[in-house]
């Protein structure tokens, strides 16, 4: 069974404080399907979703051998079984990860759709960093290369070993930008520690000549893919390409590891414009949601009265 780093039990345990649950499908005594989830409470409502820092999840399924049609039918059957095992909930929300089984994983959307879930696309950029650094550099947008060259003169890139330094910097920047954090950092240190111990995660920081951080990013990787998981930059710093430099460093790191870099979602036109400059290919992921009354009615009312587009993504 192919797994992403987010499906690993150690990741789920660290990200939830050991509180994750999962539906399991068996063939005899062999596990052929898993659907992990985090169960949360919002007032009287039970929400089934993804743990913090877990940007994709969905079913992990072993469809076995055979012809494509045979494997598809088997996969759909296993996916339906996993969905049907979910406990009673008011709202379910997960992003499916097709990278763990590219040829069939998108079919999981069919099983969710059959069971009454809304299925919608999400787009991301993936960079094949198994290419040579020269090929990757040539694929960058001209102005992006210029920004990186300028940033290399202005900043030094270092590995940050203290997770608390990242969290403090992240929250300080959000506050200065006048934004509230949508990330719960409660279990960030355990997640970082587990990744650090397994050599599958790294915090990179860009520092100015005074050794002050101007940008940081948290990268994790496993099973052939690196994820650009979290990034932040200083409010006080005039943008001189620090984030672009960190992304280029991530690409070179991914090359050393012989993996693909997933830039983890294009959520706005500004994000698309920035991420598209790094020479990746646009890929589709699936979001599955289901709201039950009266939670659905409450969400509609909040969206109506707030006129806040962010409710589309919560």
Contacts for 153 with CB less than 8 Å, ≥ 6 apart: none
Closest CA to 164 of 190, 141, 132, 145: 190
CA distance 246 to 230: 12
Q: What are phi and psi of 16, to 5 degrees?
A: -115, 5
Domain that holds residue 18: 5-123+284-313
What per-residue confidence (pLDDT) applies to 302? 65
Element (DSSP H or E) covering residue 232? strand 225-233
| Residue 276 and residue 304 in one domain | no
CA distance 197 to 201: 9
| Residue 46 and residue 149 in one domain | no
| Residue 52 and residue 189 in one domain | no
| Residue 171 and residue 279 in one domain | yes
Tell me how far the alpha carbon of residue 115 is from its chain's centroid: 25
Count CB neighbours of 295 within 10 A: 18
Residues belonging to the chain: 314
| Residue 156 and residue 203 in one domain | yes
CA distance 187 to 14: 7
CA distance 224 to 5: 9
What per-residue confidence (pLDDT) applies to 266? 74
Q: For residue 31, give the DSSP letter.
A: E
Per-residue pLDDT of the chain (314 residues; tens, 9 = 90+): 788 999 999 999 999 999 999 999 999 999 999 999 999 998 889 999 999 999 999 999 999 999 989 999 999 999 999 999 999 999 999 999 877 666 677 789 999 999 999 999 999 999 999 999 999 999 999 999 999 999 999 999 999 999 999 999 999 999 988 888 888 999 999 999 999 999 999 999 999 999 999 999 999 999 999 999 999 999 876 767 999 999 999 999 999 999 999 998 777 788 888 999 999 999 988 999 999 877 766 666 666 555 444 333 23
| Residue 194 and residue 304 in one domain | no
| Residue 51 and residue 133 in one domain | no
CA distance 282 to 268: 14
* Gyration radius of the chain's alpha carbons: 20
Q: How many domains does the chain have?
A: 2
| Residue 138 and residue 265 in one domain | yes
| Residue 266 and residue 136 in one domain | yes
Helix, strand or coil, per DSSP, at residue 197: helix
118 beta partners: 289
Count CB neighbours of 85 within 10 A: 13
Closest CA to 312 of 93, 106, 39, 47: 93
| Residue 56 and residue 192 in one domain | no
What per-residue confidence (pLDDT) applies to 73? 94
Closest CA to 95 of 40, 63, 53, 126: 53
Q: How far apart are the first and last CA of the chain?
A: 30
Q: How many degrees, rounded to 5, is the angle at CA 91 between CA 111 and CA 223?
A: 55
CA distance 179 to 32: 43
Helix, strand or coil, per DSSP, at residue 26: strand
């Amino acid at each position: 069974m192919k797994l992403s780093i987010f499906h690993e039990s150690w990741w789920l345990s660290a990200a939830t404080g050991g509180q994750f649950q999962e539906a399991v499908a068996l063939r005899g005594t062999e596990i052929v399907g898993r659907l992990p989830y985090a169960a949360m409470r919002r007032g009287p409502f039970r929400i089934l979703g993804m743990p913090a820092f877990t940007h994709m999840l969905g079913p992990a399924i072993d469809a076995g051998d055979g012809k494509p049609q045979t494997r598809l039918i088997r996969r759909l059957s296993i996916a339906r079984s996993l969905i049907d095992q979910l406990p009673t909930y008011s709202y379910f929300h997960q992003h499916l990860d097709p990278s763990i089984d590219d040829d069939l994983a998108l079919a999981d959307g069919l099983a969710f759709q059959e069971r009454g879930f809304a299925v919608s696309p999400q787009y991301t950029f993936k960079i094949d960093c198994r290419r040579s650094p020269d090929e990757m550099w040539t694929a960058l947008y001209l102005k992006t290369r210029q920004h990186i060259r300028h940033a290399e003169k202005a900043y030094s890139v270092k590995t940050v070993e203290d997770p608390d330094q990242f969290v403090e910097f992240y929250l300080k920047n959000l506050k200065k930008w006048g934004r509230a954090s949508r990330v719960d950092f409660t279990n960030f240190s355990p997640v970082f520690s587990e990744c650090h111990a397994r050599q599958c995660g790294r915090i990179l920081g860009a520092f100015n000549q005074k050794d002050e951080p101007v940008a940081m990013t948290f990268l994790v990787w496993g099973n052939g893919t690196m994820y650009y998981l979290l990034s932040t930059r200083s409010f006080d710093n005039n943008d001189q390409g620090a984030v672009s430099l960190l992304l280029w460093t991530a690409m070179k790191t991914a090359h050393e590891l012989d993996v693909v870099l997933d830039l983890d979602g294009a959520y706005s036109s500004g994000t698309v414009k920035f991420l598209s400059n790094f020479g990746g290919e646009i890929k589709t992921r699936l979001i599955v949601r289901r709201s039950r009354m009266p939670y659905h009615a409450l969400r509609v009312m909040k969206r109506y009265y707030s006129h806040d587009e962010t409710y589309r993504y919560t």
